């Protein structure tokens, strides 16, 4: 049974986060839950006066699975080790997004690197840092 350290509730530290494009959130909450072989995410954030959220889940097996996010899309979630979780999102076999989540040695911080592909084929990197606030 997988008991990863990335499982938990995390609060965004905006002052330690970097965005190549777009306005960074003033606050955010990132929940990762692993139940058996399924990983679930619930992410909430606020940019300006707009609250936004997204939830998604899937098998934590490193394999590509059909996604309902877009036509012809697939997604994978990979348990690299107890501190590291990766995901990738593809449309028509082209990688559109990649994320790597890495827990600090003391288990109190979570760094999230996101690389998103824009319609012109260029990529945008986002780095976020979160502090653990719950299990």
Of 15, 74, 7, 5, give the one whose Cα is nearest residue 38: 7
pLDDT at 19: 92
Q: Where are the alpha helices (DSSP H) in the chain?
A: none
Whether the per-residue pLDDT at 70 is higher than 70: the answer is yes
Rounded percentage of the chain residues whose pLDDT exceeds 90: 90
pLDDT at 1: 56
Across the chain, mean pLDDT equals 94
Confidence of residue 106 (pLDDT cuts 50, 70, 90): very high
pLDDT at 69: 85
* CA dist 119 → 54, 126, 131 (Å): 21, 17, 32
**Per-residue model confidence as pLDDT tens digits over 34-48:** 999 999 999 999 999
CB proximity list for 119: less than 8 A, separation 6 or greater: none
pTM of the predicted structure, to 2 decimals: 0.92
Tell me the domains of the chain and their CATH numbers.
8-134 (2.40.128.20)
Q: Contact, 42 vs 55, CB < 8 A?
A: yes
Q: Which two tokens stand for residue 4?
A: 């990863």
């Amino acid at each position: 049974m997988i008991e990863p350290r990335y499982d938990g509730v995390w609060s965004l530290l905006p002052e330690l986060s970097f965005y190549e494009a777009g306005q960074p959130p003033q606050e955010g909450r990132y929940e990762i839950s692993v139940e058996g072989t399924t990983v679930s995410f619930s992410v909430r954030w606020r940019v300006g006066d707009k609250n936004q959220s997204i939830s998604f889940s899937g098998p934590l097996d490193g394999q590509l699975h059909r996604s309902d996010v877009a036509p012809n899309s697939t997604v994978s979630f990979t348990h690299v080790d107890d501190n590291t979780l990766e995901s990738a999102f593809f449309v028509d076999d082209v990688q559109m997004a990649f994320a790597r989540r890495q827990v600090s040695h003391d288990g109190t911080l979570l760094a999230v690197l996101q690389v998103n592909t824009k319609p012109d084929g260029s990529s945008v990197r986002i780095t976020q840092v979160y502090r653990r606030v719950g299990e």
